[in-house]
Amino acid sequence: WLENVGSGFILLALVYMFWSVINRYGDEITANLVNMEGTWGVPFWGATMLFLGIYSTMMLNVSDYSRELKEGTKPGLLTTIYAMSILPCTLFMGLIGLMVSGATGVSDPIQVFSSAVDNTPLLIITLLFIAFAQVTTNVLNNVVPPTYILMDVFKLKFRTSTIIVGLLAFCTFPWELVKEESSAGLQMFVQTYSAFLGPIFAVMVVDYFILRRRKLDIDKLYDENGPYKGVNYAAVIAALAGAVVALTFSSVSWYASLLPAGITYYLLMQNWKPCERFRN
């Protein structure tokens, strides 16, 4: 219920924020954004790559969310749930950030929102709930997946794993990362880890959609002594090959890694004898 209430309110808050920014900075937005000449070159694709690099962590960990769904949830409803939970808020946040930075030169949407809203009690309530909703969102996106990993690798309890993840998150000093002077380093960080997440994404897509045609034997998949025991080195080699290409084209690392990793994985799985047991 916490997630549902928080996500619903943050969407309403973003709609209100969107309206407030347009109402206060409409002329500046028209002059600086609507009438500006743009480009579809490398800077554009580099910017979208950073966006995808951040969201690829959720793409790869989607099983950590879907395992909580009740059995029998139909594909149509599942697609709607995922689309409504991600797309509206993501688009509003992106548009508000673009409008705010373009109109005022300030990159922090909350700072501009504070100056764009005249109703102080409403502003305080909205900002508090946005902060609250961000906490619930980050618990789902950034705490649940590593918690499951610690439980699986070190056989820890859920409560213990969650506390460790929280302490480790604190040790990364996230308040330093969001400072304006940290933006270049943060961009480099996203580009670097995207060079490894892109190939993993490509391997998973090729494996599931092309090689297995969306059919998995779950019992064999989780059988510690079954046919999938050990390491599939085709996936490791393909991921590393994609990462090498990605690091060579760091500004678009996520995109650059997809084809090399996917093609390498497909060829190895089809022709390399050590991979034969993984093909069954």
Q: pLDDT of 64-109, one tens digit each?
A: 777 777 777 788 887 887 777 777 877 877 788 778 777 777 766 6
Angle between helices 109-116 and 75-104 (to 10 degrees): 70
3-state SS class at 4: helix
Helix (H, G, I), strand (E, B) or coil at 160: helix
Parts of the chain belonging to CATH 1.10.4160.10 = 1-172
Pick 258 or 54 by higher pLDDT.
258
Residue 3 has a pLDDT of 67
Q: Are 56 and 255 in contact (CB under 8 A)?
A: no
Tell me which range, 104-108, 153-157, 218-222, is most confidently predicted by mean pLDDT: 153-157
* Confidence category of residue 257, pLDDT binned at 50, 70, 90: very high
Average pLDDT, the chain: 83
Around Cβ 197, how many Cβ atoms within 10 Å?
25
How high is the pLDDT of residue 147?
92
Q: What is the predicted pLDDT for the residue at 19?
A: 84
CATH code of 1-172, in short, is 1.10.4160.10
Residue 202: the pLDDT is: 95
pLDDT of residue 143: 86
Question: What is the average per-residue pLDDT within 216-233?
Answer: 88
pLDDT of 163: 95
CA-based radius of gyration for the chain: 22
* Per-residue pLDDT, 151: 94
What pLDDT score does 133 carry? 66
Rounded to whole angstroms, how far apart are CA atoms 64 and 68?
Answer: 7
Cα(65)–Cα(127) distance, rounded to whole angstroms?
27
**3-state DSSP call for residue 122?**
helix
Q: Is the pLDDT of residue 27 over 70?
A: yes
170: Cβ contacts below 8 Å, ≥ 6 apart: none
Identify the residue with better confidence: 105 or 158: 158
The two most distant CA atoms of the chain are separated, in Å, by: 69
CA distances (Å), 127 to each of 11, 62, 114, in order? 13, 29, 9
| Distance between CA atoms of residues 280 and 275, nearest Å | 9
- CA dist., res. 198 & res. 178, Å (int): 24
